[in-house]
Structure 1
Amino acid sequence: MITNLYLVRHAHSTYTPEELTRPLSDQGFRDVDKVTALLEDKSIEHVLSSPYLRAFQTVEGIATLLDTEIKLVEDLKERTLSRTAVDDFPYAIEKVWTNPNFSWEGGESNLSAQQRGIKAIQKIIKDYHGKNVAIGTHGNIMVLIMNYFDKQYGFAFWKQLEMPAIYQLSFDGEHYMHTTRILD
């Protein structure tokens, strides 16, 4: 049986330094309707999300349409780049993508964040075998997950990724088949 995971990068958010409670912006809330409409015909049976508010809010429309609850998955949260704010974000993010084992103080390397994300995805594949699942998540962790299965999804891909974005990862049992762009 085929399992389809619809990875949904959250819509645009209003920046706050607090990751957990950062909400969607007005534009982000408008984009929730677009996400909902694109997922509406995908026979979604379950909705999961990172515990971060902006990811949850992005998939809330499809959950409401399906009259289902959103299950939070801690390991789908965004990667921690550093314990403190970085002075030069473009440099800091490129450095971790260039060296998968490198991490800034208190942050996750690409490898450790990817392993966390893949562990969550493997559990989802087992728990929701043969189902279509919408998953609210974040750009870096989403691309790290996609990169695990297909190396074409890397730093250059992440840099051009829009908010929101939806990519379908399809699995036959636990075997990765392909990735399909739904919205970007």
Structure 2
Amino acid sequence: MITNLYFVRHAHSTYSSDELNRPLSERGKEDARKVTEILKNQRIDILISSPYKRALQTIEGLTGIVGIEIVVEEDFKERLLSERPLNDFDRAIAKVWEDYSFCWEGGESNVVAQNRGVKALEKVLERYEGKNIAIGTHGNMMVLIMNYLDKRFDFTFWKRLDMPDIYKLSFDDRRLIDVKRLWNKS
């Protein structure tokens, strides 16, 4: 039985230090409408999202189309890079991808964040076998999960993601059998 997960990296958001409540920007809202257009014909059965507002807002347009509410899954939230702002984000993110066990003060290493995401993935695959599931999440978390399944999804892949972005991962039981990108910027 094939299960399809549609990982949706959230659309552009208005920066604020409040990670949980940071909303989509105007551009992000427009792109979220495009996400809805792309996914509305995919026969989505289940909507799941990180608790972060920007991830919820990116997939919420599907609620009226598929007639279901979004299930919030804490473990699909973005990885915590550090408990304090870091001066050089690019250097900080590169460091955790270079050494999967390294973490900045108060943050999550790739190992810890990946384990959290994979645990959530396994729960979804078990609970919703044979369904089409859209998951609103974040770039690092999405790629860490994808990297666990296939090492070609790495830091270089993460740097090339769009915001938003959509990847369809198809599973036969719990075995990844196909990955397709559905997002098209135009």
Q: TM-score range by the shorter chain?
A: over 0.9
| Residue of structure 2 equivalent to 1:160 | 160
Question: How far apart, in 1, do the equivalents of 2:153 and 2:17 lie?
Answer: 27
| Residue of structure 2 equivalent to 1:57 | 57
The percentage of aligned residue pairs carrying the same residue is 55
Q: What do residues 17-53 of structure 1 show as CA deviations (whole Å, max 9, x unaligned)?
A: 0100000000000011110011011110010000000
Other structure's SS at 1:105 match: coil
One-letter code aligned to 2:91: Y
Q: CA RMSD in A?
A: 0.7
Gaps of 5+ in 1: none
One-letter code aligned to 1:56: L
Alignment of 1:1-184 (within 5 A): 1-183=1-183
How big is the shift at 1:9?
0.1
How many correspondences in the alignment? 184
Task: Give me the TM-score of the superposition, normalised by structure 1.
Answer: 0.98
Question: How far apart, in 2, do the equivalents of 1:141 and 1:173 lie?
Answer: 22
Runs of 4 or more above 6 Å deviation: none
Question: How far apart, in 2, do the equivalents of 1:156 and 1:84 lie?
Answer: 25
Gaps of 5+ in 2: none
Task: Give me the TM-score of the superposition, normalised by structure 2.
Answer: 0.97
Question: How far apart, in 1, do the equivalents of 2:132 and 2:44 lie?
Answer: 5
Question: How far apart, in 1, do the equivalents of 2:63 and 2:168 lie?
Answer: 17
How big is the shift at 1:14?
0.2
Other structure's SS at 1:176 match: strand
How big is the shift at 1:64?
2.0
Q: What do residues 125-169 of structure 1 show as CA deviations (whole Å, max 9, x unaligned)?
A: 001000000000000000001111111111111111110000011
One-letter code aligned to 2:71: K
Question: How far apart, in 1, do the equivalents of 2:39 and 2:166 lie?
Answer: 9
